[in-house]
C-alpha cells in the first residue's frame, strides 16, 4: 500500500464576488515530474486531454483550472484518456440522435457554449480522484477486488467509479466498459498515479427517476414492470433526489465545523447525497409467470397475482384498489419492500472484515457467513442480506443451517427448501451500478415479499447490526466501510456530525446541543470491532437513534455491544416508540465495566462446556454477555477474538414487548458532569425470547 502523505499546509480559498482562486503556492509546485509534467511529456497520447485540463475550472465558482491543480502537490489518481479515446467520445456524441448542439465531431463544432463547457467537464472531472492532502492515490493493487466494487473517494465530478474484471488478469475496466491500458498503468508521479484510459469515462447524470422514466417512455425491456410500478406508486419524485443543497451551502460557507478529538481531526462529510437501492424482478421473470410487461392492464393484473400468490403476511392490512400511490395499497407495500433508502454498491451489500476465516489479503476467499439487517423504504419492515461460500453470492432473506454449537465451526452446513433466499444478481450485466448517480439496481429472479415465512424466520434468529446501519446516509455518502488506498489511520478515517440544532444530517440520529459525535473507520486495521468501525460520543452527550423494526409482536432483548475501557462514561438509557416520551430503562450503563468487574461475572472459557454455559447464564442474568465468537480481528482464530476479550461486552439494555410496523427509539444520555468521558457503541442486537430463552435450543455463542 502506498503510504498516506501528510501535508501540513493550508489551502486558502479566496472568495471574491462569485469567484474563487485557489492559492496553488500553498500546495507546493515541484520542479520534479508531476502528473501535468508526465502528460506534457507524451503529447502524441495526451495533447487533447492536456488542453481540456486547462479549460475546465475546479468548481463553478473557481478560476483555478484542473490543470493547475494537477501541477501542485497532492494525491491524485488520474485516469487519463488518450487522444483517440477523446475523439471516439466526440464521434459518439455527434452520432447520437439526441445531439443538436454540434455540427461535427469536433470541439470547434459546438453551437452551445454551455454544453461545450459541460462536455469538457465530463471528460476531465470524471477522470480524476483527489485523495486530498491526507489521503492517497490508487494503484491497481489498491483497486476494489470485487466486480462492481467502488473506489472509496468520488471523482472530481462527484461520481463513484466502479471496477470490473474478466478472466484475463491484464484486463481491468472502469464503469463496466472503459478499459485501462494493460501496459501504461500505475505510472508514479510526485502527486499521484496516472493510468492510461482507452475510453472516456462518461457516466450519464441520470437520477433513478430519469432512468426509469426513460424505460417507460421507450418501452425498454429489462425492468419495465418495475418502472411502471414505481411510477404508479408515486415514487418518481422521491427517486429524483440527488443532493441536499442546504447542506451543500452550509458546508461551503463554513457554517458547519469539524472537531479535534484526541489528536485526530474529525472531518465533516463533504456532501449529503440521497441514495437508493432497488431489487427488481426482471421482465423475463414476469413473462415466465404469464404477466406481459407492456400490457395496458399490467397494474391490476400484477396486484391480482400478488393476491393469488399471497405475496404478503396474514397480519398485514392493505387495500386492493387502484390508488397505488396510497401507502396502504397492496401494490405500494409490495413494491416499497424492494427499495432501500440508501445506495449500496456491490461490495457493500454485506461487509467482510472480522469474520472467522476471512482476510483482506485474500478477500475473494470467504470465511464464515456474514449478514446485514436493514429497514426498507416505506412502512417499518426488516430485510436481511446474507453471504457465505455456500450461498454463491449475496442473497436476500436466506435462512440456512449453521454449525453454531460451542465446538462448531460457525459455517453454513445446509439450507432447508424454501429458505434459500433470493440471489442478488450483482454480476449480472443487467445490474445498474455506476450508471445512475443516486441508485443501484440489482436484478432478482424470484418475487421478493415480506410474507409470513420471512417474518417468522427473522423472529427466530438473532438480529445483529452495526451501529451505523441505523443511518442510511452513512452508506450513501461512503462513510461506512470507507476503503482507502492506505490502511494506516489518519484524520481521513474519522467523521463528525453537527449537533442537531445546527443541522440534522441523518433523521434517524438526533444529537443534543453538547454532543460531540465521532465515527471511527478502522477498516483494514486489526481491531475487535464487529465491522471495523465504531461510534464514539463525547461531551455531556444526549443521543437518540431509531432502531430497525421487529418482524413480529413478541418479547425482545435490545443489546448493545461495546469495548469497555478506562475513560468511558455512564449513560442513562431510554427506550420506546414515543419519541417525545421515552421511558427510562434500568440503572445507568457504566461503560468502564468489563470482565474484571465482579458484577459482570466474566470467566474465560474452559474445556468444560457445561461450566461455560453456566457462566454465560450467570452473566445474562446480571444483564451482561461475552462478545461473539464470530468476531475476531482480521479473520484470526476465534480464540483471539471478542469472546475471549474481557473488554468486549454485550449489555442488555432492555427486555420488553415490541410491536411490528412500529418505529422504536433508543436514547443514551450522560449522567456525568464530565465532558471527556465518552460513549462507545459498536453494534446492537435485537433478540426474541424464542432465541434467548429457548428451552430446546439455547442461543449460540457465535
Q: pLDDT (tens digit, 9 = 90+) per residue, 500-548? A: 999 999 999 999 999 999 998 888 888 888 998 999 999 999 999 999 9
Cβ atoms within 10 Å of 339's Cβ, excluding its own: 22
Q: Tell me, what's the pLDDT at 270?
A: 86
pLDDT-derived band at 135, boundaries 50, 70, 90: confident
The mean pLDDT value for 186-193 works out to: 96
Closest to 321 (Cα-Cα) out of 334, 310, 332:
332
pLDDT-derived band at 700, boundaries 50, 70, 90: very high
Rounded Cα gap, residues 137 and 74, in angstroms: 9
The mean pLDDT value for 5-9 works out to: 30
pLDDT-derived band at 393, boundaries 50, 70, 90: very high
pLDDT-derived band at 7, boundaries 50, 70, 90: very low
Q: Tell me, what's the pLDDT at 24?
A: 44
In contact, 567 and 680? CB cutoff 8 Å: no
**At residue 17, does pLDDT exceed 90?**
no
Rounded Cα gap, residues 523 and 352, in angstroms: 10
Rounded Cα gap, residues 350 and 389, in angstroms: 13
Rounded Cα gap, residues 478 and 588, in angstroms: 34
Closest to 277 (Cα-Cα) out of 337, 222, 234, 210:
337
**Highest mean pLDDT pick, 175-189, 485-499, 516-530:** 175-189
Cell matching residue 390: 455456500
pLDDT-derived band at 489, boundaries 50, 70, 90: low
Rounded Cα gap, residues 99 and 544, in angstroms: 51
Percent of the chain with pLDDT strictly greater than 70: 94
Buried b (16+ CB within 10 A) or exposed e, 194-231: bbbbbbbbbbeebbbbbbbbebeeeeeebbbbbbbbbb
Mean pLDDT of the chain: 91
Closest to 391 (Cα-Cα) out of 415, 365, 416:
415
State how far Cα 513 lies from the chain centre. Answer: 27
Rg (the chain; Cα; Å): 26
pLDDT-derived band at 18, boundaries 50, 70, 90: very low
Q: Tell me, what's the pLDDT at 8?
A: 28
Q: Tell me, what's the pLDDT at 492?
A: 59
DSSP state letter for 207? -
Q: What pTM, to 2 d.p., does this model score?
A: 0.89
Rounded Cα gap, residues 122 and 124, in angstroms: 6
Task: Determine which of 77-86, 152-161, 387-396, 586-595 has the lowest per-residue pLDDT on average.
Answer: 152-161
pLDDT-derived band at 28, boundaries 50, 70, 90: very low
Q: Tell me, what's the pLDDT at 589?
A: 96
Query: In the chain, what are the domains?
Result: 13-197 (2.30.180.10), 205-240+273-464 (2.30.180.10), 465-692 (2.60.120.260)
The helix or strand, by DSSP H or E, that contains position 587, with its residue range, turns out to be strand 584-590
Q: Tell me, what's the pLDDT at 90?
A: 97
Q: pLDDT (tens digit, 9 = 90+) per residue, 497-513? A: 999 999 999 999 999 99
Collapse the DSSP code of 1 into the 3-class scheme (helix H, G, I; strand E, B; otherwise coil) and give the result.
Answer: coil
Q: pLDDT (tens digit, 9 = 90+) per residue, 333-386? A: 999 999 999 999 999 999 999 999 998 888 889 999 999 999 999 999 999 999
pLDDT-derived band at 494, boundaries 50, 70, 90: confident
**At residue 134, does pLDDT exceed 70?**
no
**At residue 686, does pLDDT exceed 60?**
yes
Rounded Cα gap, residues 227 and 213, in angstroms: 7
**At residue 578, does pLDDT exceed 50?**
yes
Furthest CA-CA distance within the chain: 83
Rounded Cα gap, residues 18 and 434, in angstroms: 32
Listed in sequence order, the residues at least 6 apart from 284 whose beta carbon sits closer than 8 Å to its beta carbon are none
Rounded Cα gap, residues 174 and 162, in angstroms: 6
Q: Tell me, what's the pLDDT at 70?
A: 96
Rounded Cα gap, residues 135 and 556, in angstroms: 43
Bridge-based pairing state of the strands 192-197 and 76-81: parallel
Collapse the DSSP code of 310 into the 3-class scheme (helix H, G, I; strand E, B; otherwise coil) and give the result.
Answer: coil
**At residue 13, does pLDDT exceed 50?**
no
**At residue 638, does pLDDT exceed 70?**
yes
Higher local confidence (pLDDT), 404 or 153: 404
Place of cell 404508479: 232
Rounded Cα gap, residues 324 and 206, in angstroms: 25
The mean pLDDT value for 211-229 works out to: 97
Cβ atoms within 10 Å of 114's Cβ, excluding its own: 9
**At residue 305, does pLDDT exceed 80?**
yes
516 bridge partner residues: 538
pLDDT-derived band at 21, boundaries 50, 70, 90: very low
pLDDT-derived band at 112, boundaries 50, 70, 90: very high
Amino acid at each position: 500500500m502506498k503510504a498516506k502523505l501528510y501535508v501540513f499546509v493550508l489551502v486558502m480559498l479566496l472568495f471574491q464576488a462569485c469567484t474563487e482562486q485557489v492559492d496553488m503556492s500553498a500546495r507546493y509546485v515541484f520542479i520534479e515530474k508531476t502528473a501535468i509534467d508526465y502528460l506534457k511529456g507524451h503529447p502524441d497520447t495526451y495533447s487533447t486531454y492536456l488542453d481540456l485540463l486547462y479549460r475546465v475550472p475546479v468548481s463553478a465558482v473557481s478560476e483555478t483550472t484542473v490543470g493547475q491543480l494537477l501541477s501542485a502537490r497532492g494525491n491524485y489518481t488520474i485516469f487519463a484518456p488518450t487522444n483517440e479515446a477523446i475523439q471516439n467520445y466526440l464521434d459518439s456524441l455527434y452520432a447520437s440522435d439526441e445531439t443538436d448542439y454540434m455540427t461535427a465531431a469536433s470541439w470547434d463544432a459546438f453551437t452551445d457554449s454551455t454544453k461545450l463547457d459541460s462536455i469538457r467537464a465530463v471528460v476531465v472531472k470524471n477522470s480524476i480522484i483527489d485523495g486530498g492532502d491526507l489521503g492517497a492515490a490508487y494503484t491497481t493493487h489498491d483497486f476494489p477486488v470485487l466486480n462492481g466494487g467502488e473506489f472509496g473517494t468520488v471523482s472530481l465530478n462527484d461520481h463513484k467509479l466502479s471496477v470490473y474484471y474478466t478472466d484475463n488478469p491484464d484486463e481491468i475496466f472502469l464503469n463496466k466498459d472503459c478499459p485501462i491500458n494493460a501496459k501504461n498503468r500505475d505510472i508514479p508521479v510526485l502527486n499521484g498515479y496516472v493510468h492510461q484510459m482507452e475510453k472516456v469515462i462518461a457516466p450519464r447524470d441520470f437520477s433513478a427517476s430519469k432512468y426509469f422514466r426513460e424505460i417507460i417512455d421507450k418501452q425498454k425491456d429489462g425492468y419495465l414492470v418495475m418502472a411502471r410500478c414505481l411510477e404508479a406508486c408515486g415514487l418518481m419524485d422521491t427517486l429524483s433526489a440527488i443532493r441536499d443543497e442546504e447542506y451543500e451551502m452550509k458546508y461551503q460557507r463554513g457554517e458547519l465545523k469539524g472537531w479535534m478529538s484526541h489528536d485526530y481531526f474529525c472531518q465533516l462529510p463533504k456532501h449529503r447525497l440521497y441514495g437508493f437501492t432497488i431489487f427488481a424482478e426482471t421482465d423475463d421473470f414476469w413473462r415466465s409467470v404469464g404477466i406481459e410487461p407492456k400490457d395496458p392492464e399490467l397494474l391490476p393484473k400484477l396486484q391480482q397475482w400478488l393476491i393469488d400468490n399471497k405475496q404478503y403476511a396474514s397480519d398485514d392490512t392493505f387495500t386492493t384498489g387502484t390508488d397505488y400511490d396510497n401507502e396502504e395499497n397492496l401494490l405500494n407495500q409490495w413494491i416499497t419492500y424492494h427499495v432501500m433508502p440508501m445506495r449500496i454498491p456491490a461490495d457493500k451489500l454485506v461487509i467482510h472484515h472480522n469474520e472467522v476465516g476471512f482476510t483482506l489479503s485474500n478477500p475473494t476467499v470467504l470465511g464464515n457467513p456474514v449478514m446485514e439487517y436493514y429497514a426498507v423504504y416505506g412502512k417499518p419492515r426488516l430485510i436481511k442480506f446474507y453471504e457465505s461460500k455456500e450461498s454463491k453470492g449475496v442473497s436476500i432473506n436466506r435462512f440456512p443451517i449453521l454449525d453454531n454449537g460451542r465446538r462448531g465451526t460457525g459455517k453454513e452446513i445446509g439450507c432447508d427448501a424454501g429458505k434459500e433466499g433470493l440471489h442478488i444478481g450483482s454480476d449480472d450485466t443487467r445490474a445498474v451500478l455506476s450508471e445512475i448517480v443516486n441508485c443501484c439496481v440489482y436484478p432478482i429472479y424470484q418475487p421478493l415479499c415480506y410474507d409470513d415465512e420471512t417474518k417468522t424466520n427473522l423472529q427466530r434468529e438473532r438480529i445483529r447490526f452495526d451501529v451505523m446501519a441505523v443511518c442510511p446516509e452513512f452508506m450513501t455518502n461512503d462513510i461506512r466501510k470507507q476503503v482507502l488506498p492506505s490502511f494506516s489511520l489518519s484524520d481521513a478515517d474519522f467523521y463528525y456530525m453537527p449537533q442537531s440544532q445546527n443541522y440534522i444530517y441523518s433523521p434517524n440520529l438526533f444529537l443534543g446541543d453538547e454532543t460531540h459525535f465521532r465515527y471511527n473507520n478502522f477498516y483494514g486495521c486489526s481491531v475487535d470491532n464487529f465491522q471495523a468501525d465504531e461510534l464514539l460520543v463525547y461531551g455531556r452527550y444526549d443521543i437518540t437513534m431509531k432502531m430497525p423494526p421487529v418482524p413480529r409482536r413478541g418479547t425482545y432483548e435490545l443489546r448493545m455491544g461495546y469495548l469497555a475501557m478506562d475513560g468511558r462514561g455512564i449513560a442513562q438509557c431510554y427506550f420506546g416508540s414515543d419519541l417525545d416520551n421515552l421511558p427510562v430503562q434500568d440503572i445507568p450503563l457504566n461503560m468502564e465495566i468489563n470482565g474484571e468487574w465482579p458484577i459482570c461475572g466474566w470467566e474465560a472459557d474452559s474445556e468444560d462446556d457445561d461450566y461455560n454455559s453456566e457462566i454465560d447464564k450467570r452473566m445474562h442474568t446480571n444483564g451482561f454477555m461475552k462478545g461473539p465468537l464470530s468476531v475476531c480481528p482480521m479473520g484470526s482464530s476465534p480464540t483471539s477474538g471478542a469472546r475471549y476479550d474481557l473488554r468486549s461486552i454485550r449489555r442488555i439494555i432492555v427486555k420488553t414487548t415490541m410491536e411490528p410496523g412500529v418505529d422504536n427509539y433508543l436514547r443514551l444520555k450522560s449522567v456525568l458532569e464530565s465532558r471527556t468521558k465518552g460513549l462507545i457503541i459498536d453494534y446492537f442486537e435485537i433478540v426474541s425470547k424464542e432465541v434467548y430463552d429457548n428451552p430446546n435450543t439455547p442461543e449460540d455463542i457465535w
